[in-house]
Every structure is written in structure tokens, then in C-alpha cells.
């Protein structure tokens, strides 16, 4: 998707740096062969490597997907002790070798806390440049609302995912809009079922139960959506959800990577301010914020142990 122009546009040539661990180098060679066989005009080079220093050398964008996935019955935070050290190493390598304006998307779970750790170990790169992926949750929510209302998924916008990419996240459709026959209406009016709106679960666990593996295709698409919007900008008056460093907006704890509604322009994101938040939403935001603070202190104790 990246190499065929879905992220940086149809006129932007690129070089892909592909990082994996030493036992996977043979498999990675196969990926390199397939990329060549795809005959992608925008792909001007591929650098397969097991060395983070080579992988992150002068990169402008980093998709951090290399991490252990959870199995059925696990919570994403169960991956913390296995994965958090990867993001320390990758943060240090980004700090030393990447461009100072590199934009980083963390996909590996627990994504929010891994993004925070990565940023902590890359002090020469602005904290705003480290983000975590909640776009898959947003896309899942939009798809389910579109199906319920009976419109194409592109007609549903402004769904918000607040907080952690975990079971405490708060998927909030109260500001969502649905375009029905050219007229934009509130999703709550289009669905006309408040209980359904509040009870829909946008979790990856159902996919893991069916596939015995994490979401892959939809996660890749969401990563591309996230980076495209960050690099190329969001549509005016519309917002998307991204895990970003919290400034305390909407009462969220500061200095955790918290998913907010953001609008992007000229390569910068801004938290959309002033949206009304009711008591139910406040309670949900507090719960997911608390979990992120707990994950942060657990991550630091794993790293410092
Ligand atoms: N934020 C989100 O919405 C989503 C997050 N995920 C997460 O993404 C991560 C990857 O999931 P899958 O691709 O399904 O797993 P996978 O097991 O299929 O692939 C992981 C790859 O990362 C590599 N890897 C492991 N340690 C590494 C290291 N230190 N450096 C570089 N590469 C390394 C592995 O060798 C493997 O090739 C998991 O943590 C999963 O939970 C997956 C889907 C959605
Ligand atoms: O559920 C998982 O472990 C993988 C993931 O993050 C998702 O699909 O949202």
C-alpha cells in the first residue's frame, strides 16, 4: 500500500527500509522478491536489514509494526513486558539515525504506551512526532455504523476513539455524521438506537478468535490511513482519531499517549477542542486515562528492571 502511493500520494517515489529480527532474514528476502515482482513504479529502492541503525537511517516516516501479537484470551497490556523493550531500542535508534522531523506511528501493542516509551528514548525528536494507532478502531466503528444505517462507509465521519487502544477505549459516535442521500445528519439520529450506539464493541478480539491471528489487512489499511492523513492533511471540518501526547485536553492525564479527535494540516496534528462531553463520556475518559497511567508506570518498571 505504501509503495503504490496510498500514503504519500501517486507522485511520491520512495525507498522502503524493512526491519526484522535475524531469524526472519530469509523470510524478509522473500518479501523483497515479492516487492520486485509487484513492479511498483514509485518504489525506488528496498533496504532489508536486522540492524535498527540501518533501518532508521535518514527515514522520514516510521511504521513500527514489529512486535509480538496477542493470542486469544490475552489483553493487549499482557504484551507489555515482551514488547516495551523493543520500543526503547527503536526510540534510541530513531534518535540517532532518523531525520529530526520523522513521523512515527506505533502499531505494536500496547501501542499507546509503546509510543510513549519510544518517544522517551528519542529526546532529540519532538514528542508530537510519536503517535499510536487507534485508526483501526475508528474504521471498525465507521463500518458498523454504515452497515446499520445502510450507507457506504465513506458516508460516515467524525467517530471518535478516546484513550487507550485497549478494552477501556471509549468509542464515541455522539459527534459522528452520516451522509444520507447528500444530506449530513447526526449518526445518533440516523441510527435511532442509543443502546446500540453505546453497546457496540469495536474490538480486535473477535478477529483473533476467528483467524487465530491478529487483524492484518485492516490494520495495514488503518496504518496507511493514519499516516496519509498526518502527511497530507484531513478534510476541512472533519476529524480522525490518533493516539498523541496528551496536553491534558478533555481532562485526560498529561504525558501519556491518549487517543483524541485530531485535525491535521501541513504535517501537523491538532486536538479538536470544544466538543461537548457528557457525564457518561467523562467517566469513560477517566477510566481509560487511569489505565494509561498504570501502563506507563508498569512500562518504566519493566525497562528499569
Ligand atoms: N494498534 C492496532 O490497531 C494493531 C496493533 N497490532 C499489533 O501489531 C503487532 C504486530 O502484529 P502482527 O503483524 O500480527 O504480528 P506478527 O507476529 O505476524 O509479525 C510481527 C513481526 O515483527 C517482527 N519482530 C519481532 N520483534 C521485532 C523487533 N525487535 N524488531 C523488528 N521486528 C520484530 C517479527 O519477526 C514478525 O515478522 C502486535 O503487537 C499486534 O498486537 C495488530 C493489529 C492492530
Ligand atoms: O486485538 C489485537 O490484539 C490486535 C489489535 O490491536 C486490533 O486488532 O485492534
Q: Where are the alpha helices (DSSP H) in the chain?
A: 25-37, 52-55, 80-97, 111-120, 135-149, 187-191, 194-199, 205-211, 217-232, 279-304
Q: Which of 294, 296, 257, 271 is nearest to 105 (CA)?
A: 257
Please determine, for residue 202, whether its predicted confidence score (pLDDT) is greater than 70: no
Please determine, for residue 205, whether its predicted confidence score (pLDDT) is greater than 90: no
pLDDT for the residue 201: 64
CA of 160 to the centre of ligand 2 (A): 17
Sequential DSSP letters for 135-173: HHHHHHHHHHHHHHHTS-GGGEE--EEEB-SSTT-EEE-
* CB distance 18 to ligand 1 below 6 Å: no
pLDDT in tens, 208-222: 999 999 999 999 999
Helix axes of 80-97 and 111-120: crossing angle, nearest 10 degrees: 40
Please determine, for residue 195, whether its predicted confidence score (pLDDT) is greater than 90: no
Q: What positions carry a catalytic annotation?
A: 165
pLDDT for the residue 69: 92
pLDDT in tens, 171-186: 999 999 999 999 999 9
* Residue 63: all three cell numbers together: 511504521
Query: Ligand 1, from 24, 69, 114: best to mutate by most atoms within 8 Å of Cβ?
Result: 69
Q: Is 193 marked within a binding site?
A: no
Rounded CA separation 148/166 (Å): 24
pLDDT for the residue 71: 84
* CB distance 208 to ligand 1 below 6 Å: no
- What residue has cell string 445518533? 188
Q: What is the CA radius of gyration of the chain?
A: 19
pLDDT in tens, 146-175: 999 999 999 999 999 999 999 999 999 999
Q: Which of 112, 117, 206 is nearest to 168 (CA)?
A: 112
Cβ-in-10-Å burial (0-12, 13-18, 19+) of 178 comes to: buried
Cβ-in-10-Å burial (0-12, 13-18, 19+) of 160 comes to: buried
pLDDT in tens, 58-115: 999 999 999 999 888 888 888 999 899 999 999 999 999 999 999 999 999 999 999 9
- Specify the residue with its C-alpha closest to ligand 1, atom 40: 69
Please determine, for residue 28, whether its predicted confidence score (pLDDT) is greater than 70: yes
Rounded CA separation 260/85 (Å): 26
Amino acid at each position: 500500500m505504501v509503495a503504490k502511493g496510498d500514503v504519500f500520494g501517486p507522485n511520491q517515489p520512495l525507498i522502503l527500509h524493512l526491519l526484522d529480527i535475524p531469524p526472519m532474514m530469509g523470510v524478509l528476502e522473500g518479501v523483497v522478491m515479492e516487492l520486485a515482482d509487484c513492479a511498483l513504479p514509485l518504489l525506488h529502492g528496498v533496504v532489508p536489514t536486522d540492524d535498527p541503525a540501518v533501518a532508521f537511517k535518514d527515514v522520514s516516516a516510521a511504521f513500527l509494526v514489529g512486535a509480538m501479537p496477542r493470542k486469544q484470551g490475552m489483553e493487549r497490556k499482557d504484551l507489555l513486558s515482551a514488547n516495551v523493550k523493543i520500543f526503547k531500542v527503536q526510540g534510541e535508534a530513531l534518535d540517532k539515525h532518523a531525520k529530526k522531523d520523522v513521523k512515527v506511528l506505533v502499531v505494536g501493542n500496547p501501542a499507546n504506551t509503546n509510543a510513549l516509551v519510544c518517544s522517551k528514548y528519542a529526546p532529540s525528536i519532538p514528542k508530537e512526532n510519536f503517535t499510536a494507532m487507534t485508526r483501526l478502531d475508528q474504521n471498525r466503528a465507521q463500518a458498523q455504523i454504515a452497515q446499520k444505517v445502510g450507507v457506504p462507509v465513506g458516508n460516515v465521519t467524525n467517530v471518535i476513539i478516546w484513550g487507550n487502544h485497549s478494552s477501556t477505549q471509549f468509542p464515541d459516535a455522539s459527534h459522528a455524521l452520516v451522509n444520507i442521500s447528500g444530506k449530513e445528519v447526526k449518526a445518533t439520529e440516523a441510527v435511532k438506537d442509543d443502546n446500540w450506539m453505546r453497546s457496540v464493541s469495536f474490538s480486535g478480539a473477535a478477529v483473533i478468535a476467528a483467524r487465530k491471528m491478529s487483524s492484518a489487512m485492516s490494520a495495514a489499511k488503518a496504518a496507511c490511513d493514519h499516516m496519509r492523513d498526518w502527511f497530507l492533511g484531513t478534510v476541512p471540518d472533519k476529524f480522525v482519531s490518533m493516539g498523541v501526547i496528551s496536553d491534558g485536553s478533555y481532562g485526560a492525564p498529561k504525558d501519556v499517549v491518549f487517543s483524541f479527535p485530531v485535525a491535521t494540516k501541513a504535517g501537523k496534528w491538532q486536538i479538536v477542542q470544544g466538543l461537548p462531553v457528557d457525564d457518561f463520556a467523562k467517566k469513560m475518559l477517566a477510566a481509560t486515562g487511569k489505565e494509561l497511567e498504570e501502563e506507563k508506570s508498569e512500562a518504566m518498571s519493566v525497562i528499569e528492571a
